[in-house]
């Protein structure tokens, strides 16, 4: 039995999926209770550094990290600043005043702290989410955490339904174009409704084939199964988890 292939040139891709989750989990939980500005900024810098050094970043991921995350901080920060109870920030200075309503610097600080905290939590979760295949995570859960393989591989089959649905939807779209389906704003809802029935029929056929294949391989007949792909827990996984915990603790203590 050979170990599952990993991404070359990026050390996060070579780690056990559970190691990346366990490493970031204490910091994520602790950030829920943080109310200052400096701590989430420090963890944002830490998460960005780990991702930039340890992950192979695609253009889509770079847009996510460079545009979506900063934009979410601004949107969430302003949203919470407008939503917060004015009585909590009466003693602070008004930055913007419209009639009797005033936006204070205290409200902006609370909103920005909330936006940064959520962004830091999200970016820490990206360490595992952007560098781990769903199949490897399921295998790690079965092999390391002893999740019953009946549950794990049922989830694995469900994960593999997603690209199958994407392929079938593309085929259905091409078939509609060949038959002269019209484009436009008004025809779009009818066209999307026309995708539902063939897509559902294809999903049922695929589910039947998967069920028959699992029955033919005696799925569920025995308490354990032989693993074709191994996702082992190595020494480097332990080193990464302990190092991340030490750095996280240092950030909290230093801040």
Q: In the chain, where are the structural domains located?
A: 2-139+231-254, 148-230
Q: Is the dihedral of CA 64, 239, 2, 156 positive or negative?
A: negative
pTM summary value: 0.76
Check residue 241 and give its pLDDT: 96
Cα gap 141→22, rounded to integer Å: 12
Q: Quick one: pLDDT at residue 182?
A: 59
How remote is the C-alpha of 192 from its chain's centroid?
27
pLDDT classification of 17: cutoffs 50, 70, 90: very high
- Secondary structure letter of residue 105 according to DSSP: H
Q: Mean pLDDT score of the chain, rounded to an integer?
A: 82
Mean pLDDT of all residues in 110-122 = 92
Give the DSSP per-residue string, 56-95. Answer: ---HHHHHIIIIIHHHHHHHHHHHHHHHS-GGGGTTSPEE
How many helices (DSSP H) and strands (DSSP E) are in the chain?
Answer: 10, 4
Nearest Cα neighbor of 27 from 254, 252, 255 is 252
Q: What percent of the chain has pLDDT over 90?
A: 32
Confidence of residue 88 (pLDDT cuts 50, 70, 90): low
Residue 7 has a pLDDT of 40
DSSP state for residue 4 in the 8-state scheme: P
Give the pLDDT confidence score for residue 192 in this predicted structure. Answer: 74
Query: Does pLDDT of 59 surpass 80?
Result: yes
Contact status, residue 159 vs residue 132, Cβ threshold 8 Å: no
Check if the beta carbon of residue 24 is closer than 8 Å to that of residue 127.
yes
- What's the whole-number mean pLDDT along residues 121-132? 92
Place of tokens 């209770």: 33
pLDDT for the residue numbered 184: 54
48-76 residues labelled b (16+ CB within 10 A) or e (exposed):
eebbeebbebeeebeebbeeebeeebeeb
pLDDT, tens digit, 9 for 90 and up, residues 167-220: 888 888 888 777 766 555 556 666 777 778 888 888 888 888 888 887 787 777
CB within 8 Å of 122: residues ≥ 6 apart: 69, 72
């Amino acid at each position: 039995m050979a170990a599952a292939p990993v991404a070359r040139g990026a050390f996060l891709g070579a780690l056990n999926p559970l190691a990346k989750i366990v490493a970031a989990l204490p910091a994520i939980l602790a950030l829920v209770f943080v109310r200052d500005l400096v701590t989430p900024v420090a963890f944002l810098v830490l998460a960005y550094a780990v991702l930039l050094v340890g992950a192979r970043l695609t253009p889509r991921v770079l847009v996510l990290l460079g545009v979506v995350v900063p934009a979410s901080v601004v949107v969430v920060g302003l949203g919470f600043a407008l939503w917060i109870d004015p009585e909590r920030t009466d003693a602070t200075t008004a930055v913007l005043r419209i009639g009797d309503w005033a936006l204070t610097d205290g409200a902006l600080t609370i909103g920005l702290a909330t936006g940064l905290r959520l962004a830091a939590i999200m970016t820490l979760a990206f360490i595992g989410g952007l560098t781990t295949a769903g199949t490897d995570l399921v295998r790690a859960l079965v092999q390391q955490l002893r999740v019953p393989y009946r549950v794990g591989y049922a989830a694995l089959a469900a994960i593999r339904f997603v690209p199958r649905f994407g392929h079938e939807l593309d085929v259905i779209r091409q078939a509609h174009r060949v038959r002269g389906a019209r484009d436009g704003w008004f025809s779009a809802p009818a066209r999307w409704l026309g995708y539902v029935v063939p897509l559902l029929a294809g999903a049922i056929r695929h589910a039947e084939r998967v069920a028959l294949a699992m029955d033919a391989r005696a799925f569920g007949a025995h308490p354990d199964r032989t693993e074709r792909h191994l996702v082992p827990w190595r020494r480097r996984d332990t080193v990464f988890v302990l190092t991340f915990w030490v750095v996280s603790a240092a950030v909290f203590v230093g801040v």
